[in-house]
Amino acid sequence: MTKDPHQKLIDELDLLLEKERDALLAGQLQTLPELLEQKEGLIDRLNGLEGLETAELQPLRGKAQRNQALLDGALRGIRTVANRFSTLRKIRRTLETYDSQGRKSALVRQHDNKLEKRA
C-alpha cells in the first residue's frame, strides 16, 4: 500500500508546528519570522491539493491553535514589559510629592542627561 501523497506535506507542517512551539517555549522569538514564512508556504501548497480531507488536517488545527495561544501569551508579556519600562522612564523624569493638605504635585526634571561639548 502506497503512502498518501498529501501525508508528506502534512508531516512537514506537523514538524514545523512543533519547531514553532519549541521556539515559543524557549523564548526564541527571532526564529519566528522564518518559521512563519515556511509555514505559509506549506499551507499554500496544502491548499492547492485536491482530494484533501478535513479530517486529515484536524491534528494540525489543534497544534496551530496551541501555538497561537503561546504566541498571544508572548505578546502579552512583551506589552507588559514595554509598559513597565515606560512607567520606569516616567518615574525617573518626575518626583511626585504630597503637600500638607494631601494634594499631589509632580516635579518634572527639565534637562536631559546630555554631554555638551564646548570648544
Q: Do residues 70 and 82 lie in contact, with contact meaning Cβ atoms separated by under 8 Å? A: no
pLDDT value, residue 119: 66
pLDDT digits (tens, 9 = 90+) for 18-63: 999 999 999 999 999 999 999 999 999 988 888 778 888 889 999 9
pLDDT digits (tens, 9 = 90+) for 72-116: 999 999 999 999 999 888 877 777 888 888 898 877 766 556 666
Predicted TM-score of the model (pTM): 0.70
pLDDT band at residue 12 under the 50/70/90 scheme: very high
- From the list 118, 39, 111, the residue with the least C-alpha distance to 71 is 39
